[in-house]
Amino acid sequence: MHGLRVVGAFASLVRFQHTIFALPFALAGALMARQSWPSVVVLWWILVAMVGARSLAMALNRVIDARIDAMNPRTAGRDLPQGRLTRRQVAVFCVLSTAALLIAVSQLPPLTWYLWPIPVVGFVAYPYAKRVTWLCHLVLGVVIGIAPVGAWIAVTGHIALAPVMLWCGIATWMFGFDVIYALMDIEFDRAHGIYSVPARFGPERALAIARSMHVLTAVFFVFAGLFAGSGLLYFVGVALCAVVLVIENMVVDPADMRRIQAAFGTANGVLAMVFIAFVILDVAVH
């Protein structure tokens, strides 16, 4: 039973359910690279790399932020502050996650091997960014948004403008929804010197910034499709994603934590699923 509790604690630590925010876009990058399905082997190693990278990112974030999480009533129940996991256990998990990432990129084109340190440096930088700048939301988006670039390189062996546009789209999308998420901690952040857009500018201006970022998201997704040579169904999917973003920003109420959580979790999960569904449909009929 103890082993099962530890496994459950690790699953909670890395929030596997939040993989839905990045994995569909990695798959989209792989499919859009040649407007066709890559081999099963390539897809497998992309999946392993994504799981390893994301697990490492979340574990590092939890370790670096453990002291802050323990002080924040909203996060004090997490596994490290509550002692369900130790720092040593999480450190071992980080080593294993890194090993999975390295094994995966070693099976992909050489450029992926040369570039893997870049996101890892970003994983370390993000938790510290909130200690020095309200642009920490952008750091998160840039780091996580690199997924389709890596997948594109895994399929083609080189970089191109289309995945860079996807990268920019995901970065601005995550910038916007992380600003919305940060509304839940605005008072705590101000009291403890944590930087965020809501803490710096207030709820109303923060929501205006989130909306502007999400407008850019739709624009970047359109350009990604144009540069990749995507078909009509792709752009239908982008239009539906834009509708989801509009709804997400309409339902947010800074005074209602449930609405913030719904905007963060449900709306963004729907957007990711809609996006990859229409990429798959577009490739199928291309």
Instruction: Read off the CATH number of the domain in which 250 is found.
Output: 1.10.357.140
Per-residue pLDDT, averaged over 164-172, amounts to 97
Say whether 132 sits in a helix, a strand or coil: coil
Task: Please report whether residue 172 resides in a domain.
Answer: yes
Task: Please report whether residue 91 resides in a domain.
Answer: yes
Closest-CA residue to 49 (of 137, 155, 169, 198)? 155
Determine the pLDDT at residue 34. Answer: 92
Least confident of 94-108, 206-220, 249-263: 249-263
Residue 11 pLDDT greater than 70, yes or no? no
The pair of structure tokens assigned to 120 is 């890892």
Task: Please report whether residue 186 resides in a domain.
Answer: yes
Res. 216 pLDDT band, cuts 50 70 90: very high
141-177 in b/e burial notation, b at 16+ Cβ within 10 A? bbbbbbbbbbbbbbbbeeeeebbbbbbbbbbbbbbbb
Closest-CA residue to 24 (of 239, 215, 221, 285)? 221
Determine the pLDDT at residue 251. Answer: 84
Determine the pLDDT at residue 80. Answer: 87
Per-residue pLDDT, averaged over 240-255, amounts to 88
Task: Please report whether residue 10 resides in a domain.
Answer: no
Task: Please report whether residue 22 resides in a domain.
Answer: no
Condensed to tens digits (0 to 9), the pLDDT of residues 89-129 reads: 989 999 999 999 999 999 999 999 999 999 999 999 999 99
Cβ neighbors of 227 (< 8 A, separation 6 or more) are 160, 161, 162, 165
Share of the chain above pLDDT 90, in %: 72
Closest-CA residue to 189 (of 178, 179, 174, 200)? 200
Q: Is the pTM above the cut of 0.75? A: yes
Residue 56 pLDDT greater than 60, yes or no? yes
Residue 263 pLDDT greater than 80, yes or no? no
Condensed to tens digits (0 to 9), the pLDDT of residues 59-100 reads: 999 999 999 999 999 888 888 888 888 889 989 999 999 999
Per-residue pLDDT, averaged over 183-188, amounts to 92
Task: Please report whether residue 19 resides in a domain.
Answer: no
Rounded Cα distance, 43 and 29, in Å: 11
User: In this structure, how many other beta carbons lie within 10 angstroms of the beta carbon of residue 193?
Assistant: 9
Per-residue pLDDT, averaged over 40-67, amounts to 92
> Domain total for the chain?
1
Determine the pLDDT at residue 1. Answer: 43
**Range of the structural domain that residue 165 is part of:** 28-285
Task: Please report whether residue 8 resides in a domain.
Answer: no
Instruction: Give the chain's mean pLDDT.
Output: 89
Residue 28 pLDDT greater than 80, yes or no? yes
